[in-house]
Amino acid sequence: MLARLLASAAALAVATWWLPGISIQGHQDTAGQVITMLVVAFLFGVVNAVVKPLFKFASAPLILLSLGIFLLVINACLLMLVSWVSGQVGVPWHVDDWGSAFWGALIVSVVSFIVNAFFKRGEEHR
């Protein structure tokens, strides 16, 4: 579970670093940015656990017709939702617009896949 939190934090950090439309607001030192990304990763995990299954169920025909590409739209919606929740709880992380959310969803998906592949490889050796 900790490995997934760290993988999500790393993926969200990459998206925050690469995309100008996803940002940590305010001037924070490195430790503050790391804590912010961990909190955002936790919020992202909660939203993924609670809301994503509902979105996937409601949009199952679109997911099948698009061969899974519609999952990027769902993940972009989840990033926008996490941005809103972050603002509500006082976490200074923000997604500006739909385009940033879509590209952020793509980056988060790819980076999460790569990081989780490394974590799973390490678990196989134990």
Average pLDDT over residues 71-93: 95
Distance (Å, whole) CA 27 – CA 38: 17
Measured CA to CA, the distance from residue 72 to residue 114 in angstroms comes to 17
Enter the pTM of the model: 0.87
How far apart are the C-alpha atoms of 44 and 51, rounded to whole Å? 10
Over the stretch 10-47, which tens digit does the pLDDT of each residue have?
999 999 999 999 999 887 788 989 999 999 999 999 99
**Which residue has 């996803």 as its token pair?**
22
What are the tens digits of pLDDT across the range 90-120?
999 999 999 999 999 999 999 988 887 887 7
